[in-house]
A and B are shown apart, each in its own frame.
Chain A
Amino acid sequence: MKKIKTPLLKVDSVGIQFGGLKAVSDVNVELYPGELIGLIGPNGAGKTTFFNLLTGVYVPTEGTISLEGENLRKLPPYKITQKGISRTFQNIRLFSELSVIDNVKVAYHSLSKHGILSSVFRMPIHFKGEKEMDEKAIEFLKIFNLDQYKDEKAKNLPYGKQRRLEIARALAANPKLLLLDEPAAGMNPQETHELMNLIALIREKFDLTVLLIEHDMPLVMGVCERIYVLDHGQLIAQGKPEEIRNNPKVIEAYLGEEVS
């Protein structure tokens, strides 16, 4: 059924080489609107590099990436974000000296209409724009249960809330595709469970497609509809969770070859 729709994101034999090292090569991925997809693989398989390729941090040395049929090649990261791909980071990268609400407001910046001069001269459009941003940001923080911390500096939040804030910030940029890089890293089982419910909720509410890197296998198997497996920079398997679980190549990549 889903194959009839046009893909939201189409990654066509993409690869990147750093000097002699092929970090990612010949990766083909298609994501359809509304899917929740997992990307797994052992350490150093190239998962984060793949995210960096999608978001324009790296320019692929081969292949093409297109979002809704539009080629993203050589667009700077901020333009790709404006086109609708937004992400979180493996090691949290919040704007730590800014308040919680300002972190979210930064993501609204590209949607703001008041220019520098109207802000400097404090024209009515400046106040209107800033007020709209404030209201939208508070609404957003409420969804993530962070509104009572809005004036706190981001660096003072506990770890789990920082993770949540990072997801909130990524969503505020109004993406069509949300990339989550190990969102549950360092969380306890309770927090992980809450996070998964949250991801399911925002996916419904914002009509999102989500691509998720995660190490926690039960978690990935539990929530993702399809899974891609990367190893040594190459896709070694893709399919439904149960297919992946029994795939000999995947078992080999994770546990090593059988001796004998």
Chain B
Amino acid sequence: MTTIKRAKGFWLSILLSLIFFAVVQVLIGGGSLNPFYQNTLMFIGINIILAASLHLIIGITGQFSIGHAGFLAVGAYASAVMTMKLEMPFYAALIVGGLASALAGLIIGIPSLRLKGDYLAIATLGFGEIVRIMLLNIDYVGGASGMQVSHLTTWPWVFASVIVTIIVIRNFTSSTHGRACISIREDETAADSMGINTTYYKVVAFAIGAFFAGIAGGLYAHNFYIIQPSNFGFLKSFDILILVVLGGLGSLSGAVLAAILLTVVTTFLQDYPETRMIIYSLVLIVMMLYRPQGLMGTKEITSMFKRKGGSSHEKNKNTAA
């Protein structure tokens, strides 16, 4: 019963998003969506991918990683090298960017995921900075002056990547593997004693998260005409972290919502450069005061529809007890 319902909801959301895609595509083709709005849409897409990928690491597996901009940078530079230096097609460059980033995730994850809590946070923060400083010192990719990249990111690419990211992360989360990851978040000792290979699943979640951050990096790089190491500082990592925390730790739809909301807010605040950061910070402070659990808490949008059907059942249970 529930599986059928879930499957229905799944296809419905796919259908709705395809309609959304088609509408936007027609608007862009007809020229009624100006480049500013187009660019905002791209940004929203890239931020959704980043938020969803970090959600898997922090929200699901409970590993507090704050070096996500490092993975973004690895993906951005790897894909830029692919298209600009090796003249490979864009889709191949995106995949290579993702794989390079996943590899970086494995290399950093295997030793540092033995650490917990704040120690892991510091290690991943360090990783982000190491990537930035290495890129600063590699002349092949332009060093501090950055690297020229042609504009290849288009709406269909962004949209397809967002959908793939969300489906993969959702399917992973709602399987036995996702449950293993959640059990690590809930209680690592107990997960261990239930036969879960905790190190393996932490590294897997880290690598999948890094892979999609790398894809986002590829899209990000080809959305600008130039990328510089300074775009990937630790402030960028915090921007992504804010999306996940604001959306509600453990909620994929929350992360997506927060990515949309905050991208729109920052974009429109660009008209008021003097007060931009103040208003942005105020939004965050007010949000955390009145909704410390985040926009969605740990719930998903889909579970809201489910509860309507389940409420009568719950009432029955209460009267029985």
| Given known A97-B182, A107-B194, contact A129–B187 (CB-CB < 8 A) | no
- B186 lies within 8 A of chain A by Cβ: yes
* Whole-angstrom distance between the Cβ of B248 and the nearest chain A Cβ: 12
Q: Interface-forming stretch among B74-82, B103-111, B195-203, B226-234?
A: B195-203
Chain B residues whose CB sits within 8 angstroms of the CB of A102 once the complex forms:
179, 182
Is A95 in contact with B186, judged by CB distance below 8 angstroms?
A: yes
- B32 lies within 8 A of chain A by Cβ: no
- B176 lies within 8 A of chain A by Cβ: yes
- A78 lies within 8 A of chain B by Cβ: yes
* Whole-angstrom distance between the Cβ of B174 and the nearest chain A Cβ: 8
* Whole-angstrom distance between the Cβ of A35 and the nearest chain B Cβ: 22
- A13 lies within 8 A of chain B by Cβ: no
Is B171 in contact with A119, judged by CB distance below 8 angstroms?
A: yes
Q: How far is the CA of A116 from the CA of B208 in the complex (A)?
A: 11
- B13 lies within 8 A of chain A by Cβ: no
Is B196 in contact with A86, judged by CB distance below 8 angstroms?
A: no
Chain A residues whose CB sits within 8 angstroms of the CB of B182 once the complex forms:
95, 97-98, 102
* Whole-angstrom distance between the Cβ of A210 and the nearest chain B Cβ: 16
Interface size on A, residues (CB 8 A): 39
Q: Which residue of B lies closest to A118 (CB)?
A: B175
Q: How far is the CA of A112 from the CA of B183 in the complex (A)?
A: 16
Chain B 180-211 per-residue mask, 1 if CB under 8 angstroms from chain A, else 0: 10110111011111111110000010000000
Q: How far is the CA of A106 from the CA of B188 in the complex (A)?
A: 12
Is B195 in contact with A119, judged by CB distance below 8 angstroms?
A: no
For window 25-77 of A, CB contacts with B under 8 Å fall at 55, 57, 76-77
Q: How far is the CA of A102 from the CA of B179 in the complex (A)?
A: 7
Is A110 in contact with B195, judged by CB distance below 8 angstroms?
A: yes
Q: Which residue of B lies closest to A151 (CB)?
A: B310
Chain A residues whose CB sits within 8 angstroms of the CB of B186 once the complex forms:
94-98
Q: How far is the CA of A165 from the CA of B200 in the complex (A)?
A: 26
* Whole-angstrom distance between the Cβ of A241 and the nearest chain B Cβ: 29
Q: How far is the CA of A27 from the CA of B185 in the complex (A)?
A: 34
Q: Which residue of A lies closest to B316 (CB)?
A: A148
| Given known A97-B298, A98-B182, contact A109–B175 (CB-CB < 8 A) | no
For window 134-186 of A, CB contacts with B under 8 Å fall at 148, 151, 169-170, 173
A→B interface (CB under 8 Å): 55, 57, 76-78, 81-82, 86-87, 89, 93-98, 102, 105-110, 112, 114, 116, 119-122, 126, 129-130, 133, 148, 151, 169-170, 173
Interface pairs A-B: 9 shortest CB-CB:
A119-B175, A110-B195, A95-B186, A81-B195, A93-B190, A77-B192, A106-B183, A107-B194, A93-B187
B→A interface (CB under 8 Å): 168, 171-172, 175-180, 182-183, 185-187, 189-198, 204, 250, 298, 310, 317, 320
A-B contact pairs, 30 of them (CB 8 A): A76-B197, A81-B192, A81-B193, A81-B194, A82-B195, A86-B193, A86-B195, A89-B193, A93-B189, A94-B187, A95-B187, A98-B179, A98-B183, A106-B183, A106-B191, A107-B195, A108-B176, A109-B176, A109-B180, A109-B196, A110-B196, A114-B175, A116-B172, A119-B172, A119-B175, A119-B177, A119-B178, A120-B168, A120-B172, A122-B171
